[in-house]
Amino acid sequence: MIVREGKGEKNIMKETTMKPAHEANMQDYRIEHEPFYLPIQDEVELFQIAYENKLPLMLKGPTGCGKTRFLSYMAYKTGLPLITIACHEDLTASDLVGRYLLDGSTTRWQDGPLSLAVRHGGICYLDEVVEARKDTTVVIHPLTDDRRVLPLEKRGQILEASDTFMLAISYNPGYQTVLKDLKQSTKQRFITLDFDYPSASLEEEIVVHESGVDRKTAADLRKIAEKIRGLKDRGLDEGVSTRLLIYAGVLIKQGVAPRRACEVALIKPITDDVEIQKTLQEIVSAVH
Ligand code: ADP
């Protein structure tokens, strides 16, 4: 028998007394302090509209360009809890939805992170969703259309999403192969915001803020990044991220010589190819 469980339903199978403390307390997932975030385009407004109209959101773009920070910022702005799940190849639908756990001689149900957000409201962010096992996609589909439900198969229940539930996923097209890609049937369920490296002046401002270096140092790092990014698909799978520019800035701020900082933060992480490393070192030498 399928039991619908959710807002407005009577006979809800409540188990509050059996819930572990973290499950009952969504406060743990609230962002208390405003994260520093510089909007790149109209993503703040679009997020707000998507949330108000219960539309799921896909953030698309390379790693380290602000997707996670953006969601933290929006969670703070909207006052919603944010539950982030870093997807990996062993992540199953049960990991998201929940499972029965042994509790002495009996069993008790424990909501997974997705069920928690669906039940109590909040943003559930599936980071790099394509990495997760295929059965996870099946589970999120009914949450992405006007049904807004999550089947809890093991319990024979269907959980209706709270009005304040929002699903967000991230996706990096650069990593995908024919064998591992999101299906159109999944992609076409999400409003999609493209994220890319910020413009020069914004990225400099971010590096200054996050690492504490001066504007000139940040501008030099950005110049190097721009040249390295130009080598994408010409030996490099992906350009250098804003995150790595911040790391380089932090090292420089701590007194590491700029060339060495760039070597360990901008070059070594992105390629193992010795020849390409040499090319990147030349790029760094031209600036530092
Ligand atoms: P990802 O796209 O992989 O989720 P993050 O959101 O973790 O990347 O971004 C990496 C870091 O870059 C952040 O921790 C933050 O310091 C910085 N960053 C990137 N974009 C912005 C932005 N628009 N405003 C403020 N900080 C940013």
Protein residue whose Cα sits closest to atom 11 of ligand 1: 243
Atom of ligand 1 nearest to the CA of 70: 6
Name the DSSP letter for residue 93: H
Residue 203 has pLDDT above 90, yes or no: yes
Atom of ligand 1 nearest to the CA of 40: 23
CATH topology of domain 3-194: Rossmann fold (3.40.50)
Mutate to test the pocket of ligand 1, among 37, 58, 63, 65 (most ligand atoms within 8 A of CB): 65
**Coil, strand or helix at 123:** strand
Q: Helices (H) and strands (E) in the chain — how many of each?
A: 12, 10
Residues contacting residue 220 through CB under 8 Å, at least 6 positions apart? 258, 287, 288
φ and ψ at residue 139, rounded to 5 degrees: -70, -35
pTM for the structure as a whole: 0.89
Ligand 1 within 6 A of 36 CB? yes
Tell me which amino acid residue 199 is.
S
**Coil, strand or helix at 236:** strand
Distance from Cα 211 to the centre of ligand 1, integer Å = 12
Given pLDDT bands bounded at 50, 70 and 90, which one contains residue 67? very high
- Count other Cβ atoms within 10 Å, centred on residue 77: 16
Ligand 1 within 6 A of 210 CB? yes
Ligand 1 within 6 A of 40 CB? yes
The H or E element containing residue 168 is: strand 165-171
Ligand 1 within 6 A of 222 CB? no
Q: Estimate to the nearest angstrom the gap between the alpha carbon of 210 and the chain centroid.
A: 19
Ligand 1 within 6 A of 26 CB? no
Are the C-beta atoms of residues 113 and 156 closer than 8 Å to each other? no
Ligand 1 within 6 A of 197 CB? no
Place of tokens 């064998």: 179
Average pLDDT (259-270) is 97
Domain ranges for the chain, please list them.
3-194, 200-287
Distance from Cα 90 to the centre of ligand 1, integer Å = 26
Share of the chain above pLDDT 90, in %: 78
Beta strands 82-86 and 191-194: pairing type?
unpaired
Say how far apart CA 192 and CA 169 lie, in whole Å.
9
Identify the pLDDT of residue 12. 36
Average pLDDT over the chain, rounded to an integer? 90
Residues contacting residue 106 through CB under 8 Å, at least 6 positions apart? none
Are the C-beta atoms of residues 158 and 116 closer than 8 Å to each other? no
Given pLDDT bands bounded at 50, 70 and 90, which one contains residue 234? confident
Q: What is the CA radius of gyration of the chain?
A: 22
CB-neighbour burial class of residue 202 (10 A; exposed 0-12, middle 13-18, buried 19+): middle
Ligand 1 within 6 A of 37 CB? yes
Protein residue whose Cα sits closest to atom 1 of ligand 1: 64
CA 93 to each of CA 24, 87, 140, 153, 227: distance values in angstroms, whole numbers, following the listed order: 21, 11, 9, 10, 41
Say how far apart CA 50 and CA 163 lie, in whole Å.
13
